[in-house]
């Protein structure tokens, strides 16, 4: 059968490979001149990811990619780097705050999806822990108000990030562009025809997997209901002359941000003697970009001694509605826009009805769409789509 995949980001490339593996003739159409979408990185000498930072190796989507040789060379967190993990708490930089440690010890707690995280956590863990835990989860939520998200959504991610099996994080060597290049090569080897600079303005005839943002999908499918809550964050990437005492990573338990010194894991991401730091801080409702930038710079002042004088490169961006789905009270991933739109049209990406965190939702939905589009009879056991979507 013939399948057209619209969009060549992580979801589109995965859907194309999975569909080809299941026997389809696949054409992938990408609007931009390069593949990758949000998984692109800047060109050297500063290789800064446009958004994503790590793959989490403790997940079914990672296992699915890994089994097929689709994960390029990557590195786990070195012990030296793990020792450099810090928290911002009450405007000081230090080790894990005690309310966070006490909360992490309550691993048996299960949170409901129909209650706000703030109210639920305050009752179970106390007001201080509710605030510190919610804010530190900015690392995967990219949202200024974790307290008003579903309790289950925030708490499940906290348990995952603080898992005793930590660190599951894998850093792609060469930045996420290396992952995109690797997936594109595997897709071509599997027979997928790839056309870039091809913006699709009408749904293609026949079976189609739409792997664009929800905004583009809403226009393509003519369906105004294709919306979901997502994050809104300021991202600042910095080249800095190296100072070995800089922390490797800072969870911001005051302001929901985080920063990471990527060159500790992959020195080639910046010129010799320099570090690449990526920081993000969610924008508050009604806050201007200048105000968010001032808060970000105050965070950098606390975390990175003398960063202003050491700067060699800087890029500022704002991501709105681009950081994946967040679930409000009363909703779970099951209520998000469905993958199967009827009539041979499927919708994939990180804001659709599939479980997981961030890019995992994109991979899981892509594999599931490929199974549905092709009849799915030959999917291997353990594939994230079928197994995880039950
Ligand atoms: C700040 C930030 C941090 C993140 N951190 C992580 C992380 O640590 N780990 C993780 O797993 N994920 C992370 N993510 C999420 C991850 O980046 C996304 O989940 C993933 O890249 C989404 O891929 P996608 O293919 O669904 O969408 P996209 O990457 O948006 O791809 C959609 C593609 O469709 C194309 N397109 C759009 N419209 C059309 C059209 N009409 N015709 C043809 N093509 C079209 C676009 O050009 C684009 O290439 C982060 C995201 C951000 C913003």
Give me ligand 1 centre to Cα 359, in Å. Answer: 8
Choose which residue among 11, 34, 52, 70 to substitute to test ligand 1 binding: the one with the highest number of ligand atoms within 8 A of its C-beta.
52
Closest residue CA from atom 32 of ligand 1: 212
Tokens of 83: 């020792």
Closest protein CA for atom 6 of ligand 1:
52
**Ligand 1 contact via 213 beta carbon (within 6 Å):** yes
> 217: Cβ below 6 Å to ligand 1?
no
d(CA 296, CA 353): 33
* CATH number of the domain within which 235 lies: 3.90.660.50
CB 274 within 8 A of CB 49: no
Q: Are 147 and 117 in contact (CB under 8 A)?
A: yes
User: Helical H runs in the chain?
Assistant: 10-21, 60-67, 79-82, 98-104, 117-125, 127-136, 138-141, 151-161, 176-189, 214-221, 289-303, 307-310, 359-374, 384-389
Per-residue pLDDT at 78 = 83
Q: Distance of CA 339 to CAs 8, 71, 163, 213, 362, Å?
A: 17, 24, 30, 13, 11
Same domain (yes/no): 22, 70: yes
Q: Would you say 97 and 250 are in contact if contact means Cβ atoms under 8 Å apart? A: no
pLDDT of residue 389: 38
Whether residue 144 is found in the same domain as residue 258 = yes
So what's the pLDDT on residue 384?
A: 53
Distance 183 CA to ligand 1 centre (A): 14
Of the three residues 309, 325, 341, the one that is the final residue of a domain is 325
The three-state secondary structure class of 329 is: coil
Q: Does the beta carbon of 280 sit less than 6 angstroms from any atom of ligand 1?
A: yes
* Residue 348 alpha carbon, nearest atom of ligand 1: 26
Same domain, residue pair 152 and 10: no
What was the pLDDT predicted at 83?
Answer: 86
Q: How far apart are the first and last CA of the chain?
A: 26
Classify residue 297: in a domain, yes or no: yes
Nearest-5° Cα angle at 233, 354 to 34: 70
Of 305, 325, 345, which residue is a domain's last?
A: 325
Residue nearest to atom 18 of ligand 1 (CA): 359
Ligand 1 neighbour 143 (Cβ under 6 A): no
Is 199 near ligand 1, meaning CB less than 6 Å away?
yes
> Do the domain assignments include residue 175?
yes
Is 202 among the domain residues?
yes
Closest CA to 52 of 36, 68, 67: 36
Atom from ligand 1 closest to the CA of residue 54: 8
CB 34 within 8 A of CB 196: yes
Asked if residue 275 is part of any domain, the answer here is: yes
Same structural domain for residues 252 and 282?
yes
User: Is 386 exposed, middle or buried (CB count within 10 Å of its CB: 0-12, 13-18, 19+)?
Assistant: middle
Give 113 Cα–ligand 1 centroid separation in angstroms: 26
User: What per-residue confidence (pLDDT) applies to 81?
Assistant: 83
Looking from the CA of residue 216, the nearest atom of ligand 1 is 38
Q: Are 205 and 275 in a shared domain?
A: no
Task: Please check whether residues 198 and 247 belong to one and the same domain.
Answer: no
Q: Is residue 270 part of a domain?
A: yes
Tell me whether the omega of the peptide bond preceding residue 167 falls within 30 degrees of 0, making it cis. Answer: yes
Task: Determine, yes or no, domain membership for 250.
Answer: yes
pLDDT single digits (tens) 143-201: 999 999 999 999 999 999 988 776 789 999 999 999 999 999 999 999 999 999 999 99
Q: Are residues 117 and 244 in the same domain?
A: yes
27 lines ligand 1 (CB under 6 A): no
CA torsion sign, 8 to 12 to 14 to 15?
negative
- The low-confidence residues of the chain, meaning pLDDT below 50, are 377-383, 385-390
Tell me which residue range forms the domain holding 239. Answer: 95-164+230-325
Residue with tokens 């700067």: 311
Within 10 angstroms of residue 367's Cβ, the number of other Cβ atoms is 33
- Please report the DSSP string for 220-232 in residue order: HHT-TT----EEE
Residues 298 and 343 in one domain: no
Residue 166, pLDDT score: 67
Q: Whose CA is closest to 32, among 24, 22, 40?
A: 40
Q: 355 phi and psi, to 5 degrees?
A: -80, 175
Residues 241 and 254 in one domain: yes
Q: Which two tokens mark 228?
A: 């979901």
Tally of domains in the chain: 2
Q: Are residues 126 and 43 in the same domain?
A: no
Check which CATH number belongs to the domain holding 361 and give it: 3.50.50.60
* Residue 296 domain flag: yes
The contacts of residue 163 (CB under 8 Å, 6+ apart) are 58
368 shares its domain with 247 = no
Alpha-carbon span 41 to 49, nearest angstrom: 4
Residues 234 and 306 in one domain: yes
> For atom 35 of ligand 1, which residue has the closest CA?
7
84 occurs within a structural domain: no
Q: What is the pLDDT of residues 331-382, one digit of tens each?
A: 999 999 999 999 999 999 999 999 999 999 999 999 999 999 999 744 443 4
pLDDT at position 340 is 97
Q: Which two tokens stand for residue 376?
A: 């799915």
User: How far apart are alpha carbons 378 and 374 in whole angstroms?
Assistant: 9
Distance of CA 381 to the CA centre of its chain: 25
Q: How far is CA 165 from CA 74, 169, 170, 264, in A?
A: 18, 10, 13, 21
């Amino acid at each position: 059968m013939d399948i057209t995949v619209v969009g060549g980001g992580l979801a589109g490339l995965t859907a194309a490979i999975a569909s080809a593996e299941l026997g389809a003739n696949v054409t992938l159409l990408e609007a931009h001149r390069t593949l990758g979408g949000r998984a692109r990185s800047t060109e050297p000498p500063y290789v800064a990811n446009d958004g994503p930072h790590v793959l989490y190796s403790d997940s079914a989507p990672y296992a699915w990619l890994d089994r097929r040789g689709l994960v390029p060379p990557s590195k786990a967190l070195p012990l030296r780097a793990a020792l450099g993990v810090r928290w911002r708490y009450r405007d000081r930089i230090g080790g894990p705050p005690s309310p966070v440690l006490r909360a992490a010890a309550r691993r048996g707690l299960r949170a409901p999806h129909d209650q706000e995280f703030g109210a639920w956590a305050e009752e179970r863990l106390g007001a201080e822990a509710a605030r510190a835990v919610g804010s530190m989860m900015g690392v995967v939520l990219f949202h200024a108000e974790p307290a008003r998200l579903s309790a289950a959504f925030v708490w499940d991610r906290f348990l995952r990030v603080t898992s005793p099996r930590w660190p599951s994080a894998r850093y792609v060597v060469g930045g996420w562009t290396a992952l995109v290049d690797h997936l594109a090569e595997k897709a071509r080897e599997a027979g997928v025809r790839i056309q870039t600079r091809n913006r699709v303005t009408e749904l293609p005839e026949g079976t189609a997997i739409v792997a664009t943002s929800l905004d583009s999908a809403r226009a393509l499918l003519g369906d105004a209901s294709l919306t979901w809550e997502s994050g809104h964050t300021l991202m600042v990437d910095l080249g800095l002359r190296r100072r070995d005492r800089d922390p490797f990573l800072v969870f911001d338990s005051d302001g929901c941000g985080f920063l990471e010194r990527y060159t500790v894991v992959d020195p080639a991401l910046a010129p010799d003697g320099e570090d690449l730091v990526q920081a993000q801080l969610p924008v508050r409702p009604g806050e201007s970009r200048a105000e968010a930038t001032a808060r970000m710079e105050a965070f950098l002042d606390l975390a990175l001694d003398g960063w202003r004088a050491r700067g060699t490169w800087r890029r500022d961006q704002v991501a709105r509605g681009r950081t994946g789905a967040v679930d409000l009270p009363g909703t779970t991933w099951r209520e998000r826009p469905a993958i199967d739109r009827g009539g041979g049209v499927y919708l994939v990406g990180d804001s659709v009805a599939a479980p997981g965190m961030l890019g995992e939702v994109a991979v899981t939905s892509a594999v599931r769409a490929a199974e549905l589009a092709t009849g799915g009879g030959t999917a291997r056991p353990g594939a994230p789509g079928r197994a995880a979507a039950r």
